[in-house]
Amino acid sequence: MKKIFSAKILILALGILIIAGSCAPKELGQASGTVTKQLFGKLPDSSVADIYTLINHSGVTLKVTNYGGRITSLLVPDKTGKPGDIVLGFDSLSGYLANNPYFGAIVGRYGNRIAKGKFEIDGNQYTLVQNNGVNALHGGIKGFDKVIWKCEDFKTEKSVGIKLSYLSQDGEEGYPGNLNSVVTYTLTDDNQLIFEYSATSDKSTPINLTQHSYFNLAGQGDIKGHEVMIAASKYTVVDNTLIPTGELRDVKGTPFDFTAVKTIGQDLAATGGTPLGFDHNYVLNTKKIKDLAVRVVEPISGRIMEVYTDQPGVQFYTGNFLDGTLTGKNANVYKQHSGFCFETQHFPDSPNHPDFPTAILKPGETYHTTTIYKFSAR
Ligand code: BGC
């Protein structure tokens, strides 16, 4: 009896050891969240767009399509833990294929405007497609927001992500050089969404890649009650076609001052633009990715968004051109000031302003930049 009993214990112990042994190494190396891929739809030229769903271990779900690298949905918990979708966008590919102002997209080759679509590098004159009045905006008619990116997903111990790549041909939209771009989106378990952009080119070219998601931390309604801090003492003054005049003006004493926290609504009317609102490039005081560039708090949901970047500027855009003609997810009608963007960037029209930080990538160099959006609630 005793022998049978101890044999049983031995077998049990061995069994436990075998199970523990086979689980342990997997558990250690196991990825934190999940990434799944589904068909999103077909483009008119029959190419296929996929949609990736990334879920971390802290209640955040991110959906991205490889059509324009567009973030279509971002569920973030509020202060009670209830998730809400905090980006503007559409449920289906058709919404993105129709006219819309860069919802959720990667913008490139050059985020924001280049005056009259013209610039010169090493004595060579280039003319881009003029798609915004006389100016070139956000990479042209078919910019990086409207192409299919190659996409691979990945997982690490504490994050999930996707790696998007696109080869832009020499001459595309008027830009010089074959430009190879790689953009990774990493969602960490501590609710950081990290964007890393890198690129190489075989000819000198302007480059200014950014992310054009429109946020509304309340999930709907207007954004006027959001409280904002931008670590910038100056902004680039623009003419009436939104091209920088070259002047970097102190924000102090102007409606553009967000160095101390204030609501978006407080000085919105005083911005005086047509259409009304903020659409300005801030010259960041921050120098390193670790420095806080922007903080947004939505007091009712308690959601907080922080922006960290190594870029010299950030375009603060308050959805001024949204006019109620687009209806997105959850039957949300996108009216003026339904969402805001913080597009980290080189200054607009840098190729025509030698005194701005250079935005020219030369052959043999690698463009590399990182921006982090960090989410929390209190
Ligand atoms: C620009 C706006 C433009 C918007 C949508 C922003 O980055 O600064 O002027 O209307 O993108 O195209």
Atom 10 of ligand 1: nearest residue by CA position? 321
Per DSSP, the three-state class of 162 is: strand
Rounded-to-integer distance, Cα 330 and Cα 314, Å = 29
Please state, in angstroms and rounded to a whole number, the distance separating the CA atoms of residues 214 and 101.
10
Number of structural domains found in the chain: 2
Q: Whose CA is nearest to atom 2 of ligand 1?
A: 279
Give the CB-side neighbour count of residue 161, counting CA atoms within 13 A. Answer: 19
17 and 139 fall within a common domain: no
Amino acid code (one letter) for 90:
F
Index of the ligand 1 atom closest to the CA of residue 212:
7
For residues 345 and 261, membership in a common domain is answered with yes
> What mean pLDDT do residues 61-86 have?
98
Local confidence band at 298 (pLDDT 50, 70, 90 cut-offs): very high
Token reading at 48: 């296929």
Q: Is 41 left (phi over 0), alpha (psi -120 to 50) or beta?
A: left
- What is the H or E stretch that residue 1 is in? none
Nearest CA to ligand 1 atom 4: 101
Same domain, 74 and 57: yes
- What CA–CA distance (Å, rounded) separates 356 from 247? 10
Pairing assessment for the beta strands 279-284 and 232-238 based on DSSP bridges: antiparallel
Residue 13 has pLDDT above 50, yes or no: no
Among 13-22, 52-61, 108-117, 328-337, the least confident range: 13-22
My answer on whether 192 and 339 are in the same domain is yes
24 and 112 both lie in a single domain: no
Exposure b/e, 193-209, CB count within 10 A at least 16 = b:
bbbbbbbbbebbbbbbb
Query: Peptide bond before 275: cis, by omega within 30 degrees of 0?
Result: yes
CB 197 within 8 A of CB 185: no
Query: Looking at residues 112-135, what average pLDDT do you find?
Result: 97
Supply the pLDDT for residue 294.
Answer: 99
Q: Does position 73 have pLDDT exceeding 70, yes or no?
A: yes
How many other C-beta atoms lie within 10 A of the C-beta of residue 54?
24
Do residues 12 and 111 share a domain? no
- Pick the catalytic residue from 138, 172, 173, 212: 212
Interatomic CA distance for residues 52 and 184, integer angstroms: 13
27 and 38 in one domain? no
Residue type at 204 in one-letter notation: S
Q: Quickly count: other Cβ atoms within 10 Å of residue 43's Cβ.
A: 16
8/129 same-domain check? no
In this structure, the residue with its CA closest to atom 8 of ligand 1 is 279
How far apart are the C-alpha atoms of 367 and 208, rounded to whole Å?
A: 9
pLDDT at 18 over 90: no
pLDDT exceeds cutoff 70 at 30: no
* Mutation choice for ligand 1 from 107, 113, 132, 137, CB with most ligand atoms inside 8 A: 137
CA of 210 to the centre of ligand 1 (A): 12
100 and 11 share a domain?
no
Q: Which residues line ligand 1 (CB under 6 A)?
A: 101-102, 112, 242, 279, 315, 317, 321, 343
CA-nearest of 271, 300, 308 to 84 is 300
User: The domain that contains 66 carries what CATH number?
Assistant: 2.70.98.10
| Alpha carbon distance 23, 72 (integer Å) | 36
Tokens of 154: 């990945």
pLDDT confidence of residue 273: 81
The backbone torsions φ and ψ at residue 122, rounded to the nearest 5 degrees and listed phi first, read 50, 40
Atom of ligand 1 nearest to the CA of 242: 9
Q: What integer is the mean pLDDT of 8-21?
A: 43
Mean pLDDT of the chain: 93
Ligand 1 centroid, distance to 212 Cα (angstroms): 9
pLDDT over 70 at 12, yes or no: no
Sign of CA dihedral 321, 323, 325, 327: positive
Residues listed for the chain:
378
Query: Which residue's CA is the closest to the ligand 1 atom numbered 12?
Result: 101
Compute, in angstroms, the gap from residue 112 CA to the centroid of ligand 1.
7
Q: Which of 88, 103, 112, 320 to mutate to test the pocket of ligand 1 (most atoms within 8 A of CB)?
A: 112
Enumerate long-range contacts of 256-260, CB under 8 Å, 24 or more apart: 256/280, 256/282, 258/228, 258/229, 258/230, 258/232, 258/282, 258/316, 259/229, 259/230, 259/231, 259/232, 259/233, 260/229
Tell how far the Cα of 287 is from the centroid of ligand 1, in angstroms.
25
d(CA 92, CA 187): 23
Give yes or no: residues 217 and 319 share one domain: yes
CB 281 within 8 A of CB 297: no
pTM: 0.92
8 lies in the same domain as 134: no
Q: Which of 321, 344, 349 to mutate to test the pocket of ligand 1 (most atoms within 8 A of CB)?
A: 321
Which helix (H) or strand (E) covers residue 50, if one does?
strand 48-55
Measured in Å, residue 353 CA sits from the centre of ligand 1 at 20
57 carries an active-site annotation: no
2: enclosing H helix or E strand: helix 2-29
Lowest mean pLDDT among 14-23, 142-151, 163-172, 237-246: 14-23
Query: Do 76 and 208 reside in the same domain of the chain?
Result: yes
Q: Residue 365's CB: how many other CB atoms inside 10 A?
A: 12
Is 212 designated active site? yes
Neighbours of 273 (CB within 10 A): 14
297 CA to centre of ligand 1 in angstroms: 22
In the chain the first and final C-alpha atoms are separated, in Å, by 62
Print the domain residue range for 23: 2-31
